[in-house]
Structures are given as structure tokens and as C-alpha cells.
């Protein structure tokens, strides 16, 4: 059986499963402003869902019922939630939670109580952090735990850069040269120690005028990689003709093969009237290559995709956007659209959070 958790912005958490042989849908957390989703890697019945304005929610029965946790977090805008794959508290992974405005919290009891890791806000670069659509604030966009070393933690600030902790968030190192400032997503790989992958919003904005007004196209950056636990970074853009990277996923069976969701700029990624997005693939240290056709969604009208993989399924990638959910079983070469009951209203809604369990 496969179960999909698809967060639809300002609507609901949709849960799809094919236990009966056909895909069936259940709607949960209706009306919640869904922002992020995470499955505990030690117990996949435990699911976390962060919302923008309604706090953090947890399910211990694969999404059948939900309770609100993290009530002692002062900010109700939960932008990132990550259970550690390498550190447990009892049966479950230690939980890290990121908010807007930027703050980081750690919980050893599933969000029932939290401890703020205040060192994040003591970094010298903090005064430069700013999220362009709401320039008076900024937020934790992504939290990446090392799959083997529980002390190592990366926190991505949108827009501010990637911060590294070597002691579970007690202290932090500031952003490093080569890493992208506008980080949107990160990944690490269980077969390659020390490698960190970063999808980011690009480096060089160019303002253009269109029929709906001015918009931004990014003309540089978009992806960076580290081979030494984030000590040094290298930006890699060969083959990228668009540079607004959103989400990155790596083949569980091959750390040299990755897929990234990309658009020209934020308007094309997030605004339905201008939506146009793509998937790009990189393998074997070569150049990025745009994926088109072969069962994949049409770029025109497609908001930027959320991606997912499963450690137990080498070569399998999932991509979810307003067009539906797509699956590849050959490392992104060909795709199939899953026959899900997909409401028409989702054709113009952003997927905010996506997870797969098998």
C-alpha cells in the first residue's frame, strides 16, 4: 500500500491511499493554512503538519485523527518541521520546528513541550535577513538533520542563507561562501556521508515588464552542493537555463542522481496566472537537463512542485503540484500521473508539503 500526504494551501491535508487497489481520498485539517508536512522516520504512523497561523498539528494514527501540539511556541506560523532520522527520544525522532519570524525549537516529546535554540538569532548576519514578499520579517524555510550524525543540523533562512550547527542547535555557524542565500530546500543521502544538496531561489534578479505588471526572473545560481558537511560549498548551474530552484530530491539508490523543481522566478513558481515550472535532472556529475514529456506534467500552468522519495525504493521519485501527483520508477526518465481523485479547485492551488509512505 502507498499513502500520500498532500498539503493543499488554504484548504486541507489530502490523504490518498491505494489499499483497496484503487486510490481513495480522505480530507483532514480542513480550512487550515497548510504549510509543511513531515513523517517520523522511526514510526511512519506519526505525522506532523505545520500551518501558517494555526500552529503545529500531530497525528499518531497515519492521519486519521489530529491534535494540536507546540502550544508553547509563541509564533503560530510553522514554516518547517523535521523529525531527526539519527536521534531518537524514546521510540520517535527528536523534532525540530522552524517558524516565522525566524526561530528554531527542539522537542523530545513530539511537540508537547519545546526548547528554543536561541543561538540561531545571535548570528552576525541576522540583521540582513529579509523575506522579500514580507520584507519586515523572515523565516526558517528548511531544517536538515544529518542522517548519521545527530549533532549536525542545518537551518535555512529565507532569505538569509544556510546556518550550520555541530551541537544540535546549541551553537551555530553563520552562512558560508558558495552556499545560496535564498535556500528553499535541502537534502542529504544515507549512502554518502557529508554531502549536502541545496535548492535555492537564485542569485541575480532581473525585473521585467509583462501584461500583468512587473515580475522577477532569476538569472544566476539556483543550486549548491557541499561534500564536507557544509564546511565549503560550490554552486553548480551547468545546464540550468532557469534559476529559481524550489525543492530537491536525490535518488535513494544513487547519490549522483537528483531532481530539482525549477521556475524562472517567484511569480512563475507561485502565482497561478503566470505559472510555469519544470523539473531538472542531474546525474553522474554532469550538467542539469530539463525533463519534458514522457508522462510528466505540462510546464504551462504548473505551479512549482514538491518532491518526495523513499529510502526503500531506489530510482523512484514523486512530484506533486496543482496538476496532480506524478511518479517515476526509472530515476526521472519517464513518469506516470497517478489516477487520484483530484478536485477541480486544486488546479489553481499550491501544494504546501508532500510526503509518501509505503
Place of cell 481523485: 341
- Exposure string over 47-79, b if 16+ CB within 10 A, otherwise e: bbbbbbebbbbbbbebbeebeebbeebebbbbb
Q: How far apart are the first and last CA of the chain?
A: 6
Exposed/middle/buried for residue 341 (C-beta within 10 Å: 0-12, 13-18, 19+): exposed
Mean pLDDT of 63-71: 97
pLDDT for 286 beyond 80: yes
**Dihedral sign of CA atoms 67, 321, 303, 153 in order:** positive
The total number of residues shown for the chain amounts to 358
Alpha carbons 18 and 16: distance in angstroms, whole number: 7
Distance of CA 356 to the CA centre of its chain: 13
User: Helix or strand or coil: residue 345?
Assistant: helix
The DSSP string of 182-203 is SEEEEEEETTEEEEEEEEE--S
pLDDT for 204 beyond 90: no
281 and 288 Cβ atoms separated by less than 8 Å: yes
pLDDT for 212 beyond 80: no
pLDDT at 208: 85
pLDDT for 210 beyond 80: no
Confidence of residue 348 (pLDDT cuts 50, 70, 90): very high
pLDDT at 127: 96
Mean pLDDT of 148-168: 97
Alpha carbons 97 and 69: distance in angstroms, whole number: 11
Alpha carbons 298 and 256: distance in angstroms, whole number: 26
Alpha carbons 200 and 341: distance in angstroms, whole number: 32
**Which secondary-structure segment (H or E) carries 270?**
helix 266-270
User: Helix or strand or coil: residue 273?
Assistant: helix
pLDDT for 69 beyond 80: yes
| 209 or 222, higher pLDDT | 222
Pick the CATH number of 32-175 from 2.130.10.10, 1.10.3210.10, 3.40.47.40, 2.20.25.90: 2.130.10.10
Q: What share of the chain is helix, strand, coil (3-state, %, to 5)?
A: 5, 45, 45
Report DSSP state, residue 138. -
129 and 166 Cβ atoms separated by less than 8 Å: no
The domain spans of the chain are 1-31+189-358, 32-175
pLDDT at 215: 84
Alpha carbons 320 and 297: distance in angstroms, whole number: 10
251 and 263 Cβ atoms separated by less than 8 Å: no
Over the chain, what is the mean pLDDT? Answer: 96
Alpha carbons 151 and 98: distance in angstroms, whole number: 17
HSE, side-chain direction, 13 A CA sphere, residue 11: 21
pLDDT in tens, 220-235: 999 999 999 999 999 9
274 and 268 Cβ atoms separated by less than 8 Å: yes
Pairing of the two strands 234-235 and 223-226: antiparallel
Identify any residues that bridge with 12 across adjacent strands, giving them in sequence order.
8
127 and 138 Cβ atoms separated by less than 8 Å: no
Amino acid at each position: 500500500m502507498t499513502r500520500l500526504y498532500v498539503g493543499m494551501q488554504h484548504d486541507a491535508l489530502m490523504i490518498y491511499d491505494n489499499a483497496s487497489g484503487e486510490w481513495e481520498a480522505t480530507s483532514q485539517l480542513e480550512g487550515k493554512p497548510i504549510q509543511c508536512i513531515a513523517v517520523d522516520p522511526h514510526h511512519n504512523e506519526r505525522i506532523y503538519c505545520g500551518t501558517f497561523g494555526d500552529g503545529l498539528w500531530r497525528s499518531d494514527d497515519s492521519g486519521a485523527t489530529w491534535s494540536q501540539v507546540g502550544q508553547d511556541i509563541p509564533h503560530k506560523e510553522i514554516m518547517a518541521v523535521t523529525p531527526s532520522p539519527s536521534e531518537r527520544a524514546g521510540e520517535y525522532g527528536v523534532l525540530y520546528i522552524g517558524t516565522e519570524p525566524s526561530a528554531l525549537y527542539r522537542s523530545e516529546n513530539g511537540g508537547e513541550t519545546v526548547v528554543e535554540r536561541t543561538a540561531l538569532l545571535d548570528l552576525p548576519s541576522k540583521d540582513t535577513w529579509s523575506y522579500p514578499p514580507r520584507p519586515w520579517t523572515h523565516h526558517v524555510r528548511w531544517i536538515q538533520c544529518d542522517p548519521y550524525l545527530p549533532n549536525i543540523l542545518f537551518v535555512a533562512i529565507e532569505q538569509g542563507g544556510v546556518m550550520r550547527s555541530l551541537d544540535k542547535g546549541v551553537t551555530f555557524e553563520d552562512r558560508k561562501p558558495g552556499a545560496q542565500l535564498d535556500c528553499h530546500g535541502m537534502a542529504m543521502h544515507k549512502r554518502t556521508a557529508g554531502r549536502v544538496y541545496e535548492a535555492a531561489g537564485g542569485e541575480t534578479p532581473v525585473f521585467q515588464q509583462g501584461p500583468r505588471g512587473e515580475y522577477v526572473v532569476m538569472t544566476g545560481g539556483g543550486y549548491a552542493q557541499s561534500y564536507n558537511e557544509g564546511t565549503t560549498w560550490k554552486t553548480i548551474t551547468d545546464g540550468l537555463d532557469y534559476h529559481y530552484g524550489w525543492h530537491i530530491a536525490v535518488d535513494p539508490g544513487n547519490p549522483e542522481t537528483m531532481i530539482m523543481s525549477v521556475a524562472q522566478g517567484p511569480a512563475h513558481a507561485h502565482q497561478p496566472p503566470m505559472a510555469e515550472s519544470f523539473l531538472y535532472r542531474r546525474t553522474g556529475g554532469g550538467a542539469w537537463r530539463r525533463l519534458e514529456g514522457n508522462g510528466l506534467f505540462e510546464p504551462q500552468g504548473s505551479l512549482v512542485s514538491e518532491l518526495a522519495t523513499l529510502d526503500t525504493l531506489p530510482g523512484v521519485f514523486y512530484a506533486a503540484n496543482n496538476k496532480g501527483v506524478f511518479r517515476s520508477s526509472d530515476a526521472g526518465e519517464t513518469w506516470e500521473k497517478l489516477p487520484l481523485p483530484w478536485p477541480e479547485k486544486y488546479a489553481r492551488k499550491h501544494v504546501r508539503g508532500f510526503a509518501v509512505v509505503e
